[in-house]
């Protein structure tokens, strides 16, 4: 491995992913090529926050051996405008939840050593100029609002920054021998303190993502999903042997907005019987939520639609009613597409441009493709799509083989994962440039 911060290059052109119908000017590059290291662009919930604001740099993961499992993770910086040269930023085990400061000068990240009794959760940062690493906090005692120290080693790999730069949202596991508790954590970056609260008890994205826009009254609004599942311990097993089961009659995902003190503020009117919800995110900088929704209610055939809706205040008894919340209003952005298909989606700050992959699960990975789209605001907002490319990734083994595209702030670069042209199940990082939105 090269020394921390020293530039090197693996990038090469990848014409194998071009086709007869590729848009003129489209360029595809394989950014990483080391067969002994897997590479991965972060999931959609935090990928926008791993680009510097000027779109010149992007942070991604590399790991030797089995991707997304325990072991050494190399957070790596890609210099987009310098021939995609690379710089290794970390050389530690159990690295989780990276996120760039709003000015792009620092990378915050965590080291989760809590799988062992007495282990600590480390909060760290590295400067992207001198590449000096600092440990900001060591969390090894009970956290305010949770009442327990972090334990279990199951930190969810995601984090989010408030748009005033004052707070960071993430999550961690707080196991006891009988209770696999997961809790949201809120870090005060000015005072270097932490508190927590529990909203999602199951390890299904238990952290909230901050509103991405510029209206100060929403700066501390967090989007959460509630899976309505619960966790428990298998009798006589080690702390890591937990199980999950449906917790109540709802049995589906509902979407909620809380402040960073854990107080419910609003619910999102999406999710009902026959209307699944997954991969919800803020629609760019708008105070609206967009979600991938597998629907059987809009046509006789399956449609993978995008619904968009603003959170609305409601009574406590209505919070989990989803589409049936009184006053519910939402828009299907894909309503003019007969059979839309998508999985992960990455939005620009305006909430009008996005890149998506299509579902590749259930042995459909090699057929999954990337498409880009523009929201046109005529009588009512609707998406106009355009095919981008076919990554041919397997979607097998690790979730790192899912394409999970990430759109740069200037809308000129898309990073994505694929194990095509690589060892099966061991993906590399690719990028596309030279495309135009419809």
Report how many domains make up the chain: 1
Residue 147 lies in a domain: no
pLDDT of residue 365: 79
pLDDT of residue 9: 97
Q: Domain of 363?
A: 12-106+200-231+246-433
pLDDT of residue 180: 76
Residue 212 lies in a domain: yes
Distance from C-alpha of 108 to C-alpha of 172, rounded to nearest angstrom: 16
pLDDT of residue 246: 56
Residue 414 lies in a domain: yes
pLDDT of residue 46: 76
pLDDT of residue 248: 53
- Counting as low any pLDDT under 70, the low residues of the chain are 65-71, 200-204, 228-252, 273-274, 295-296, 397
Residue 71 lies in a domain: yes
pLDDT tens digits, 340-395: 999 999 999 999 999 999 988 777 778 999 999 999 988 889 999 999 999 999 99
pLDDT of residue 191: 98
Residue 169 lies in a domain: no
Residue 123 lies in a domain: no
Residue 401 lies in a domain: yes
pLDDT of residue 260: 95
pLDDT of residue 3: 94
pLDDT of residue 247: 53
Residue 165 lies in a domain: no
State the CATH number of the domain containing residue 67: 2.130.10
pLDDT of residue 80: 98
């Amino acid at each position: 491995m090269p020394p921390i911060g020293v530039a090197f290059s693996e990038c090469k052109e990848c014409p194998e992913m071009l086709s007869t119908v590729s848009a003129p000017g489209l360029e595809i590059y394989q950014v990483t090529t080391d067969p002994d290291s897997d590479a991965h662009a972060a999931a959609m919930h935090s990928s926008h926050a791993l680009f510097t604001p000027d779109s010149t740099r992007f942070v991604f993961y590399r790991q030797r051996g089995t991707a997304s499992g325990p072991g050494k993770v190399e957070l790596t910086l890609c210099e987009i405008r310098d021939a995609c040269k690379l710089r290794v930023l970390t050389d530690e085990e159990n690295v989780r939840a990276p996120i760039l400061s709003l000015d792009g000068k620092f990378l915050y990240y965590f080291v989760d050593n809590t799988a062992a009794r007495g282990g600590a959760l480390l909060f760290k940062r590295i400067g992207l100029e001198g590449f000096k690493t600092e440990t900001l906090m060591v969390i090894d005692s009970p956290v305010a609002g949770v009442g327990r120290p972090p334990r279990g080693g199951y930190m969810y790999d995601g984090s989010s920054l408030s748009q005033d730069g004052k707070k960071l949202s993430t999550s961690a596991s707080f196991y006891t021998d009988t209770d696999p508790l997961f809790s949201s954590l809120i870090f005060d970056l000015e005072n270097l303190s932490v508190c927590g609260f529990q909203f999602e008890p199951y390890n299904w994205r238990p952290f909230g993502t901050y509103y991405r826009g510029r209206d100060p009254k929403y700066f501390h609004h967090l989007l959460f999903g509630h899976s309505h599942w619960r966790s428990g311990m298998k009798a006589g097993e080690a702390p890591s042997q937990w199980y999950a089961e449906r917790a109540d009659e709802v049995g589906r995902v509902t979407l909620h907005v809380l402040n960073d003190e854990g107080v419910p503020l609003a619910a999102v009117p999406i999710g009902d019987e026959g209307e699944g919800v997954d991969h919800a995110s803020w629609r760019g900088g708008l105070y609206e939520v967009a979600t991938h929704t597998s629907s059987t209610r809009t046509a006789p055939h399956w449609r993978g639609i995008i619904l968009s809706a603003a959170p609305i205040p409601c009574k406590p008894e209505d919070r989990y009613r989803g589409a049936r919340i009184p006053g519910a209003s939402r828009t299907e952005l894909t309503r003019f597409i007969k059979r839309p298909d998508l999985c992960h989606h990455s939005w620009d700050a305006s909430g009008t441009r996005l890149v998506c992959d299509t579902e590749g699960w259930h042995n459909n990975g090699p057929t999954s493709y990337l498409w880009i789209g523009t929201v046109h605001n005529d009588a009512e907002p609707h998406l106009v799509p355009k095919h981008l490319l076919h990554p041919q990734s397997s979607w097998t083994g690790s979730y790192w083989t899912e394409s999970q595209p990430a759109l740069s702030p200037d809308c000129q670069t898309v990073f994505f994962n694929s194990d095509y042209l690589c060892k099966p199940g061991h993906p590399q990082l690719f990028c596309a440039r030279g495309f135009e939105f419809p």
